[in-house]
Structure 1
Amino acid sequence: MKISVVAFSLLSAVALAQTTGQLGDAAVVNNNPAGVSYQAVLPERANTNIRGYITGTSNANGTGVQWNLNIYGLPDASLGPFLYHIHDQPVPANGNCTATLAHLDPYIRGERPPCDRSRPQTCQVGDLSGKYGDIPATGTYQTSYLDLFTSTRQGPASFFGNRSVVIHTANTTRLTCANFQLVSSGSNATTSSTGGGAVGSPTVTSPPIATYTGAAAQKLVSGAAVVAGLLAFAL
């Protein structure tokens, strides 16, 4: 009996370690500038009818980001439910969704095991559908929620304004993608591309935002490319 208890405890510890990033759990962002808003508008593409927008706006008290989604034109229900994530890199001018690399993951958590919605701080920062629900295969989808771990202030690695959003099928095929663009600078927005973040939050220099036009659907980037992207991001 004692051996079983010890074994169970060890397995529990391993499971916990697997769902916590190499740099720890995601930190709550509590210094977002008031009223700053970024929006990704899904473009017209020859390969998909998916349209809509995803908007992230600083919470009124500066803690976290209020997210609003309005997505329509979803494809055949057999391809869903649909996943969506903030990806580490912007979409290039040619519209290649694979070039956005892996999910925004500053704490180096990885995609496996899947996100535990009851403990969102242990999930990848960019795994919005993992934390708050996939897009159901209903043709149209609207939702809003508060995420405590994303930043509208340039500098912290949890800043998403220079990145992109990608929508996937249930098997992770990339259907469409779009860059976040600043739509409201708020009353206290800053323009510095470096600086400290929330306690425990790694910082990076912000890459430029790119614009693009449509392109064919892209497959999930290979495991090697994901690892390379994550390691480069962590350095």
Structure 2
Amino acid sequence: NQFTTFNMVAIKLISVSLAALLSCVGALNITTGALGNATIVSNNPPGVVYVATLPTTEFNNPNDPRGNIKGSVAATANPNGIGVSISVSFSNLPTSGGPFLYHIHDAPVPADGNCTSTLGHLDPFIRGETPACDATLPQTCQVGDLSGKHGKIEQEPFLATYSDDFATTSQGLGSFFGNRSFVIHFANKTRITCANFALSSTTTLPSNSNSSCAANSTTTSGAGSSTTPTTGTGAAQFTGAGAKTVASMTSLLGVAALALLL
């Protein structure tokens, strides 16, 4: 009788654990944008490069004696046409107020240099800024949220090269950024400076390393920066180590429950 009672209690505990685990899995299979998750762009035109270079005068504090942040964001299609390769280079960053954020914004910078006029982040799937982007599920983030998907600016100088599956250099798509801008923000989201993307005469990205900065350069890889599609349209999916962990836990709990029933 004691053994039977123990089995019943154990089975109940395992059932509760399985239900909780499955609810977590279900919670992650969500679509965050009103129009669904961001879709992978697979037909980006080869050899097309867009570059946005920061101006000499800072928007937030035009009289800053240190001058504006220096640098640029450049992007071109990956060799297989899936997503774009993005090269980022920033220096002369503010000495406080970080870590800094940067995003592709929906509208270009007007002639007067007013960064507020660039409107919000590039967001063709109508996701919104909250909740914050989960970098492990980049398809659920705003297309323009580069620092959310690939990392904030946390070092001086800041150099990074990564691939983004969801931005595009193909005109006519909502994720196209060639006629838009990017903005650098303080951690509190105040806009510091901004620049417009423009079609470059070159067909390759500028070098992202030099003798003084090479040691600090970073190359980002993973779910948010793979040139091989990890997700498609629709709900977010478990991929990589996280999926294996969930699958293993589920299998172990199932085996344990079956063993106690026998």
- With normalisation by structure 1, the TM-score equals 0.72
Higher radius of gyration, 1 or 2:
2
Q: 2:189 aligns with which of 156, 162, 172?
A: 172
Answer yes or no: is 1:70 the counterpart of 2:89: yes
User: How many residues were matched structurally?
Assistant: 186
Q: 2:167 aligns with which of 138, 150, 161?
A: 150
Distance 2:28 2:78 in 1: 32
| Deviation for aligned residue 1:51 | 1.0
Indicate conservation of the 8 Å contact 1:35/1:184, yes or no: no
Deviations 1:100-123 (A, max 9, x none): 111000011111111111111111
Q: Could you tell me which amino acid in structure 2 is paired with residue 183 of structure 1?
A: S
Distance 1:11 1:147 in 2: 27
Indicate conservation of the 8 Å contact 1:35/1:59, yes or no: no
| Deviation for aligned residue 1:94 | 0.8
Q: Could you tell me which amino acid in structure 2 is paired with residue 69 of structure 1?
A: V
Structure 1 alignment gaps of length 5 or more: 187-198, 201-235
In structure 2, the CA distance between the partners of 1:112 and 1:4, relative to structure 1 (3 Å rule), is farther
Structure 2 alignment gaps of length 5 or more: 1-12, 204-231, 234-262
Q: Higher helix share goes to which structure?
A: 2
Q: Could you tell me which amino acid in structure 1 is paired with residue 146 of structure 2?
A: L
| Deviation for aligned residue 1:139 | 2.6
Q: Could you tell me which amino acid in structure 2 is paired with residue 131 of structure 1?
A: K
2:199 paired residue number = 182
Q: 2:135 aligns with which of 105, 117, 121?
A: 117
1:100 paired residue number = 118
| Deviation for aligned residue 1:49 | 2.3
* Aligned-CA RMSD value: 2.4
1:31 paired residue number = 43
| Deviation for aligned residue 1:61 | 1.3
Aligned residue for 1:70, secondary structure, equals: strand
Q: Could you tell me which amino acid in structure 2 is paired with residue 180 of structure 1?
A: F
Deviations 1:75-107 (A, max 9, x none): 01x311110000000011111101111100001
Residue identity (%): 55
Indicate conservation of the 8 Å contact 2:101/2:185, yes or no: yes
Answer yes or no: is 1:79 the counterpart of 2:91: no
Aligned residue for 2:147, secondary structure, equals: helix
Runs in 1 of length 4+ with deviation above 6 angstroms? 1-12
Q: For structure 1, which segment, 161-170 or 45-54, has the greater mean C-alpha deviation from structure 2 after superposition?
A: 45-54
Indicate conservation of the 8 Å contact 2:55/2:68, yes or no: no
Answer yes or no: is 1:42 the counterpart of 2:54: yes
Deviations 1:159-213 (A, max 9, x none): 0000000000111010000000000485xxxxxxxxxxxx96xxxxxxxxxxxxx
